[in-house]
Amino acid sequence: MPEQNIIDKIKNELSLIRPHLQMDGGDVEFIDFDPATGILKLHLQGACQGCPMSQITLQDGIGRAIKEKVGEVKEVMTI
């Protein structure tokens, strides 16, 4: 699948996740996706940025949801 199509799928999934984060004063921003490695880079914002649970939110919430829908994503990390 072309890289732009993968990125569009990722952004679509993020748009579905975003309202849940915003309810708690946070947000997430797409930074980059490397199709060669499957690494997706995101930036947590607002309340999510300094939250002690942010890594759990990232891996168990955001990461799991995106990996289920976009098989090309192998790892999710924040910058």
How does pLDDT run across 38-53, given as a tens digit for each residue?
999 999 999 888 888 8
Confidence of residue 1 (pLDDT cuts 50, 70, 90): confident
Residue 74, pLDDT score: 97
How many Cβ atoms sit within 10 Å of the Cβ of residue 45? 14
Catalogue all structural domains in the chain, each as residue range(s) with its CATH number: 3-78 (3.30.300.130)
DSSP 8-class letter at 36: T
Tens digits of per-residue pLDDT, 15-29?
999 999 999 899 999
Q: Are 77 and 64 in contact (CB under 8 A)?
A: no
Residue 51, pLDDT score: 83
User: Which residues on neighbouring strands pair with residue 30, listed in sequence order?
Assistant: 42
**Sheet with 75-78, edge to edge strand ranges:** 26-34, 39-46, 75-78
Tens digits of per-residue pLDDT, 52-70?
888 888 888 999 999 999 9
